[in-house]
Amino acid sequence: MNHLDQSRAPIYEALENFRKMRVVPFDVPGHKRGRGNPELVALLGEKCVGMDVNSMKPLDNLCHPISVIREAEELTAEAFGAAHAFLMVGGTTSAVQAMILSVAKRGDKIILPRNVHRSVMGAMVLCGAVPVYVNPECDSRLGIPLGMKVSEVEKAIKANPDAKAILVNNPTYYGICSDLRSIVKLAHQHGMLCLADEAHGTHLYFGENLPISAMAAGADMAAVSMHKSGGSLTQSSVLLTGPAMNEGYVRQIINLTQTTSGSYLLLSSLDISRRNLALRGKEAFAGVVEMAEYARREINNIGGYYAYSRELINGDSIYDFDVTKLAVNTLDIGLAGIEVYDLLRDEYDIQIEFGDLGNLLAYLSIGDRQRDIERLVGALSEVRRRFGKKDKANLMKQEYIDPKVAVSPQDAFYADKESLPLRETEGRVCSEFVMCYPPGIPILAPGERITGPILDYIEYAKEKGCSMTGPEDPDILRLNVLKGV
């Protein structure tokens, strides 16, 4: 088999050639290489705005690529071990939605864990698919949802033999991995497709001794956030497909929702980042793993914090653990994860990826440095000394609350609804999303019945300073519920 030249970056090379041609622009964008917006040039630089161009013959077209974008996709597919790769400029949200819309239509069932990203539920609102939840176990000490047990997936398949697909998080935000290979095998044995949300798994394709990637496990589709651990620009992503998927049909689905004005800044960043990872990824991610392991040891030596790792593995609901994820439980120092998150930013100028009720996540990738790790460890030690409390009795854990699905997400979202004060919604069916963002996992999704524990959780998360999003009411004092249900 002839291998492609991974040192190539066709989109970037085409942009460089185009830049040398001094073409006079009578097309969009209207800033005309920055001349119409000098403040934008001052912010981004002449080279950057000069590469913010429109689709044209020498640069190909993202909606129907036949030259440089096509070449870049072929290089990406080979680098990731996929049958095909699609470059995405609408973030991994767009890639996840394309996955769901490619395999399901109104009334079709998809088996999935409840701790999915909002983009999965958003896709179900769009296409009318119905979720069949495999409720994850929760770690009682950490208060985090775990992976999908193979036995629970099997039970869901037997109860719903007409389901079209199974969706798996690989890994979760916290680094937890399910037994993806076994789940793929089960899906295929029962005529179902297997989809993977790999928003946090770019490095699994390039690092060594890390959990298995979706394509290596035989999954049919995977949405991969190159901009998270892969080094491309924010909002750039990749959708990978296996041999069972029809490339032309998936492209049609992507074109239903993705922009026709693909950003060449995002596309070239995907191209360059893929090249970087293909050539140097193994070495780069070995460094990330080393930093993460060092940070964990140092944080655990502070006392009170628990930076967890592979010791959690139980061979089932925690089949593997992504050691690049520096997730830290904070409850034993008497502070919620979100409180430590706020203190690190406000007192020490350290921006953490997210904090929830019991944990925080420091996202490590190819751009981190040892001295920054030292600064984080020092700040966590200071936070414990200055702000830690002996009593943790009043702290609520990030417990997983079992959802009660009453109506499909699409029917609930578009149904007649009424707005009620938060506490008056108990027992009613929600018609909108409520979530802490990040991580963007819904506490409530359209079609789910609102319970007392869910309302307690929302109020507590608000009180602790979690960034809550989703409802029409920005203050989340009211919720929309279905009329008469």
Give the residue from 353, 387, 421 where a domain finishes: 387
Model pLDDT, residue 1: 57
Mean pLDDT along residues 92-109 = 97
Q: Are residues 243 and 294 in the same domain?
A: no
Residue with the bigger pLDDT between 418 and 141: it is 418
In this prediction, residue 397 carries a pLDDT of 64
Residues 173 and 101 in one domain: yes
Residue pair 481/430 in contact (Cβ under 8 Å)? The answer is: yes
Give the model's pLDDT for residue 401. Answer: 74
> Do residues 327 and 416 both lie within one domain?
no
Helix (H) / strand (E) element for 325: namely strand 325-329
What confidence tier does 400 reach under pLDDT thresholds 50, 70, 90? low
Q: Are residues 98 and 222 in the same domain?
A: yes
Number of residues in the chain:
485
> If you average pLDDT over every residue of the chain, what do you get?
93
**Cα–Cα dist 360/378, whole Å:** 16
Q: What would the mean pLDDT of 140-166 be, rounded to a whole number? A: 94
**What integer pLDDT is reported at residue 152 of this predicted model?**
95
Give the per-residue pLDDT at 253: 97
Asked if residue 207 and residue 120 are part of one domain, the reply reads yes
pLDDT digits (tens, 9 = 90+) for 25-44: 888 999 998 899 999 999 99
β-strand partners of 478 = 421
In the DSSP assignment, the letter for residue 56 is B
Domain end residue (candidates: 245, 267, 289): 267
Question: Within this chain, do residues 94 and 206 fall inside the same structural domain, yes or no?
Answer: yes
**Does residue 81 sit in the same domain as residue 177?**
yes
With beta carbons less than 8 A apart as the criterion, state whether 360 and 330 touch. Answer: yes
Cα-Cα-Cα-Cα dihedral sign, residues 155, 156, 162, 164: negative
User: Does the residue 250 lie in any domain?
Assistant: yes
Is residue 424 assigned to a domain? Answer: yes
The number of beta carbons lying within 10 Å of the beta carbon of residue 50 is 16
Percent of the chain with pLDDT over 70: 98
Domain boundary among 357, 387, 417: 387
pLDDT one-digit tens code per residue, 315-332: 999 999 999 999 999 999
pLDDT tens, position by position, 112-152: 998 888 899 999 999 999 999 998 888 888 888 899 999 99
**Region label for 377, one of left (φ > 0), alpha (ψ between -120 and 50) or beta (otherwise):** alpha
pLDDT range class, residue 393, cuts 50, 70, 90: low
Domain that holds residue 378: 281-387
Average pLDDT of the residues in 243-263: 96
The predicted model gives 379-386 an average pLDDT of: 97
Give percent above pLDDT 90 in the chain. Answer: 81
Residue 351 sits in a domain whose CATH number is: 3.90.1150.10
Say whether pLDDT at 461 is over 60. Answer: yes
Provide mean pLDDT across the span 169-181. 96
pLDDT of residue 157: 98
Predicted local confidence at residue 484, as pLDDT: 82
- Report pLDDT for 371: 96
227-255 average pLDDT score: 97
pLDDT above 80 (res 238):
yes
pTM of the entire predicted model: 0.94
> Given this model, what pLDDT does residue 398 score?
60
**pLDDT reported for residue 467:** 82
Number of domains in the chain: 3
User: For residues 135 and 200, which has the higher predicted lDDT (pLDDT)?
Assistant: 200
117, 263: one domain: yes
355-379 pLDDT, tens per residue?
988 999 999 999 999 999 999 999 9
Q: Is residue 467 located within the same domain as residue 354?
A: no
Give the contacts of 187 (CB within 8 A, at least 6 positions apart).
Answer: 157, 165, 166, 193, 194
In a shared domain, residues 369 and 459: no
Between 381 and 476, residue with greater pLDDT: 381
Three-state DSSP state, 295: helix
Assess if residue 441 is contained within a domain.
yes
β-pair partners for 130: 109
| Cβ atoms of 320 and 313 closer than 8 Å | yes
pLDDT confidence band for 22 (50 / 70 / 90): confident
What confidence category does residue 103 fall into, taking pLDDT thresholds of 50, 70 and 90? very high
The reply to whether 330 and 370 lie within a common domain is yes
Q: Is the omega angle on the peptide bond into residue 438 within 30 degrees of 0, that is, cis?
A: yes
Same-domain pairing of 199 and 340: no
